[in-house]
Copies of this chain bind each other. A is one copy, B any other.
């Protein structure tokens, strides 16, 4: 059990006709992975999409949020892809796992 790191929970619903969404989504995952303080990212999509990225501290999250390419993707997201989204920045307090 480790804790004291941060999670950004990004939940979204998108429009049906997503032109360059997949390309940008992958681009942002790669950009996150190269950013300071990045730990990991997990993503799944059914009726809604949930992407959770994990970071060492709040500064790293803030830095990623403000990268030029990410800013551009955020604007495209609001103008083109997303009906709605929600971002929750959280402090991980307990962390445990199971493996069979």
Contacts and interface: CB of A to CB of B under 8 A. Distances in A.
28 contacts: A7-B7, A7-B90, A9-B52, A11-B52, A43-B46, A44-B45, A44-B47, A44-B48, A44-B49, A44-B50, A45-B46, A50-B50, A50-B52, A52-B52, A82-B100, A83-B99, A83-B100, A84-B100, A86-B95, A86-B97, A87-B94, A87-B95, A87-B96, A87-B97, A88-B92, A89-B92, A90-B90, A90-B93
A85 B99 CA distance: 7
A78 interface: yes
Which secondary structure dominates where chain A touches chain B? strand
A94 B50 CA distance: 17
A94 B88 contact: yes
Interface in A63-85: 77-78, 82-85
Nearest to A11: B42
